[in-house]
Amino acid sequence: MVVNHKKTRWDPELYEARHSFVWQLGEDLIQLLDPKPGERILDLGCGPGQLTAKIAESGAIPVGLDASPAMIGQARQNFPQLSFVLQEAGEMRFQQEFDAVFSNAALHWMLDREAVARGVAAALKRGGRFVAELGGRGNIRQIEDAIERVARRHLGDNLPAKQTYYPALGEYAALLERHGLEVRSATLFDRPTALEGEAGMENWIRQFKAYYFESVPPAEATKAIGEVVEELRPIAFRDGHWVADYRRLRFIAVKI
Ligand code: BEZ
């Protein structure tokens, strides 16, 4: 059985302190975006705003959008000179306002994918580009499998609904094309990603997957997370550090 639950509450402090690799790895996506001075660029799922600020360094005019009040609050505090909008991506109503839409490591959280693709297409000017990277099919499979095995021991069949999805390349390309976005390039690739420190996997689970254990008392949640970490140790702890089995789907699409 799948149970409804609250959406992830983002913790910007843990995110900035321990998961800066998310935007550091996103920096080469900005090279693919190739922002130009004066261009208006929407950063979809901007989190605490580090990549929005990188885009601004090029002289482009970015707008960061995120559905998490905590993340938008942090982004405004980090970069008070930039524009940030608190909104679900599936609810945005921009009309041909942007030269480009950019998104790093965020689309896999946006389950209303048709509404998001429709909103992106509407937001772009004709000829505008959508440059993005998200988790692709098979992303973090070994971590999710371990979490689900442990969660079943603690929750039986009452697992929470998944909050992320990792599409196959063809599936996502078809989605974009249905909404008038022509896919010019797309690639699915493995990117094993080092997590920081001995507590790297525990921190990652607490940041991104804590919702699995929200329905049990805190002491049991801590025990369960420890069990997940131990299940993963033989396969994901190598040469003194944790490695997450990330797979990325990266694409450039153009509004036609
Ligand atoms: C990802 O970037 O692929 C990801 C991050 C956190 C949870 C799930 C996926």
| Ligand 1 binding pocket mutation candidate from 164, 205, 247 (most atoms within 8 A of CB) | 164
Indicate if ligand 1 lies below 6 Å from the C-beta of 8: no
Q: Please give the CATH number for the structural domain made up of 12-255.
A: 3.40.50.150
Indicate if ligand 1 lies below 6 Å from the C-beta of 208: yes
Distance CA 8, CA 240 (A): 30
**Cα 59–Cα 252–Cα 73 angle in degrees, nearest 5:** 50
Would you state the pLDDT for residue 18?
Answer: 72
Q: What residue's CA is closest to ligand 1, atom 2?
A: 105
Q: 226 is written with which tokens?
A: 């420890």
Q: Which helix (H) or strand (E) holds 77?
A: helix 69-78
Token pair 């409804």 in the structure block, residue = 4
Read off the pTM. Answer: 0.92
84: left (phi over 0), alpha (psi -120 to 50) or beta: beta
**Cα 43–Cα 93–Cα 136 angle in degrees, nearest 5:** 45
Indicate if ligand 1 lies below 6 Å from the C-beta of 94: no
Indicate if ligand 1 lies below 6 Å from the C-beta of 244: no
> What does the CA dihedral 69, 75, 81, 86 come to, rounded to 10 degrees?
-30
Q: 199 C-alpha vs ligand 1 centroid, how far in Å?
A: 17
Indicate if ligand 1 lies below 6 Å from the C-beta of 246: yes
pLDDT tens string for the chain (256 positions)? 333 344 666 787 777 777 777 778 788 999 999 999 999 999 999 999 999 999 999 999 999 999 999 999 999 999 999 999 999 999 999 999 999 999 999 999 999 999 999 999 999 999 999 999 999 999 999 999 999 999 999 999 999 999 999 999 999 999 999 999 999 999 999 999 999 999 999 999 999 999 999 999 999 999 999 999 999 999 999 999 999 999 999 999 999 9
